[in-house]
Structure 1
């Protein structure tokens, strides 16, 4: 079991249950809403720890309840139709090995016109379709957002502003959003607890959406600029490279120092919902100007069909390399040549998986989900923790969750 202290999530859950049980969580112009997940996951291999996302420092081997369990509370103040203020807190297993509650949203919104709205503050980073509701398990079919696709999203929120324009053309609703902000989170990098501080990373993006009676389309693009270097041992290695007499070393060191990196994402999503049938297809292309952040493309396909209270579903998803350069641009006699090969190996990774499951809406605003998935990780296991030497990259993961909202 993970060593995370569960005091925070228990206290937060108690607060939410008190509010839900009071039966009076809406007081105009104030409203209180909540969401949560109680989950258990079983990883068949003990050679690598399974994680929900890159923000988790330790992974599940065998049974674990911390991976997916979380609880959130959202307070909104809306004195009129034009102005709204929202704050949301979430308690979940995160980078510091605890369930300490953190503010995930905190923004003010102003409706300039019936079609134009602006927001400022802490916002969910919705660079992809469904990305800004990643913590609300009740809002989607799967147990968790597949890491093979959503793993490229290192941020859960941004401190900044956005503007959205929405307009109806008959039965079609068109929308356009433009946003800008800075990250303020930490990511665990290595099994020994080293953290990468995302604070100061600037993000920019836009997306265009079209929604009809049964179809939703969205195309988006984002850029984030990172001014920060990775902590040791990565920064130590690049510093040592620059200190050698090898004339090729400075260029190689610069390629593997992510300070000054620009990473671009371009994505397209389409969803179809008609009666019991649900289908989604998402595609993303990610590219960087630094070799340390290797270029990948991600695909996700989902098919589900609702039969009464049950919705069985099937998912295939993956992330694959493209334009990968494995050349070691150092002089062969450089004493750090072998270390350079190891560094390149750490950027050589792919992963894909099949996931099948069923969602059971056993009561209003609550759903039980059972999911089975077979995962194949190739190359460096970037989406795993505590990996033992010789692991072949295969794993089967079983998940059971109860998702609820109120």
Structure 2
């Protein structure tokens, strides 16, 4: 089934459900809620910008040592209960985006059909939650640290898809097992380091599934997702065509293979994840692992994981965390002579391989203070040790890859 047919089917389903809503409604109930985070970040280094995730083009450090836009966000959610089986949800979020604006965007917009407690089907704009807690990554109040660990979650550059999903829950032993399958299209744009343009994800097919098991105070989850990129990186078409040309390959036959490894259009990116969470009384523990697999020079394969310990003492919850991302670079020697006639191609080859290099590790400690019901205040210190990581922006020559990040946030839900 082609992506175009899938998209048409999804749109048709949404229209049919929207038309049916008035007829199905018995006593529709509309409610709303929201969440907000006001956060400030200070970077000890002015040689690079610390980012929350790869959807941001600038952060704290080089652009400005203290930044209020890295973590700050505002979200509003509207829920319409049509009857016992049918409902609709819309969520709008304002946060720093690829173009450095805070323009609100629709993060969720779906219709949900749930004939019983065991089955749920949704169609529309859905959160991309292949990783545990990814569906609530914008709700600061819902997690313990200031932000989800950057080394782990920043590579999850897709926050929503336009598509459909199916969830089935069933008792298993003393716990509850949940299986979810989903399919749809990505729609977002992502900034590219070193390029004054963005990768357009529109039309990229996304599908996957996860298995979840909750038993007493434990939660276990494993997931898989695949993204087929629909569009090429800006400015890549011409130099890639030259690298594939017979005349250039007569100089070095490996250049066509280099071009094949550099392009992103048509490439598949795979997400594999596994994790567990424990929450019992004052003690909280999270342990997550993931792998991201593809075949691109511009975005290398990488493995990441983190562990968080927190212990609640009254209204205070001190916590410690460690996270790391390790990449498997595909740097290749193109082998073109260092001559003026090849300067444009050599510059392109060098820039392509400098977009994404190496990984980093982060040691974190902080405290969460629950000010009142539905409001918290968090302070966190991150010691980041990087090796020219692609998780930073605006890196300057001579930067040693290290920095200490001080963060203070006020979270609330309403």
Taking structure 1 as the reference length, the TM-score comes to 0.88
Pairing partner for 1:119 from 118, 122, 145? 122
1:392 correspondence with 2:400: yes
List per-residue Cα deviations over 1:189-230 (Å, max 9, x = no partner).
136631111111111110001101111000111111012110
Specify every segment of 5 or more residues in structure 2 that has no aligned partner in the other structure, as ranges.
1-26
Q: Which residue of 2 aligns with 1:15?
A: none
CA contact (8 A) 2:194 2:355 kept: no
Q: Which residue of 2 aligns with 1:367?
A: 376
1:343 correspondence with 2:352: yes
Q: Which residue of 2 aligns with 1:16?
A: none
Q: Secondary structure of the equivalent of 1:193? A: strand
Q: Which residue of 2 aligns with 1:252?
A: 258
TM-aligned CA distance change 1:190 to 1:338, over 3 Å: closer
List per-residue Cα deviations over 1:365-385 (Å, max 9, x = no partner).
000000000111113x31112
TM-aligned CA distance change 1:188 to 1:292, over 3 Å: closer
The 5 Å alignment of 1:317-328 reads 317-322=323-328, 324-328=329-333
Specify every segment of 5 or more residues in structure 1 that has no aligned partner in the other structure, as ranges.
1-26
TM-aligned CA distance change 1:216 to 1:84, over 3 Å: same
Q: Secondary structure of the equivalent of 2:196? A: coil
1:402 correspondence with 2:410: yes
Greater CA drift, 111-120 or 270-279: 111-120
Q: Which residue of 1 aligns with 2:241?
A: 239
Q: Which residue of 1 aligns with 2:362?
A: 353
Pairing partner for 2:232 from 229, 234, 251? 229
1:97 correspondence with 2:116: no
CA distance in 2, matches of 1:342, 1:316: 31
The 5 Å alignment of 1:160-199 reads 160-169=163-172, 171-190=174-193, 193-199=196-202
TM-aligned CA distance change 1:184 to 1:338, over 3 Å: closer
CA distance in 1, matches of 2:110, 2:198: 27
Q: Which residue of 2 aligns with 1:18?
A: none
CA distance in 1, matches of 2:28, 2:377: 32
CA contact (8 A) 2:357 2:390 kept: no
Pairing partner for 2:159 from 156, 165, 179? 156
CA distance in 1, matches of 2:73, 2:352: 35
CA distance in 2, matches of 1:73, 1:347: 34
CA distance in 2, matches of 1:79, 1:164: 20
CA distance in 2, matches of 1:199, 1:38: 30
Q: Secondary structure of the equivalent of 1:290? A: coil
List per-residue Cα deviations over 1:301-346 (Å, max 9, x = no partner).
1110011100011110111023x44332556689445753553343
CA contact (8 A) 2:37 2:409 kept: yes
Q: Secondary structure of the equivalent of 1:255? A: helix
> How big is the shift at 1:249?
2.0
Q: Secondary structure of the equivalent of 1:149? A: helix
Q: Which residue of 1 aligns with 2:286?
A: 280
Q: Secondary structure of the equivalent of 1:258? A: coil
CA contact (8 A) 1:328 1:341 kept: no
TM-aligned CA distance change 1:325 to 1:188, over 3 Å: closer
Greater CA drift, 107-116 or 68-77: 107-116
CA contact (8 A) 1:59 1:386 kept: no
1:79 correspondence with 2:82: yes
TM-aligned CA distance change 1:156 to 1:176, over 3 Å: same
CA contact (8 A) 2:202 2:230 kept: no
Q: Which residue of 2 aligns with 1:310?
A: 316
Q: Secondary structure of the equivalent of 1:237? A: helix
> How big is the shift at 1:83?
0.7
**What is the aligned residue count?**
377
CA distance in 2, matches of 1:225, 1:276: 43
> How big is the shift at 1:289?
2.8
Alignment RMSD, CA only?
1.9
CA distance in 2, matches of 1:388, 1:73: 38
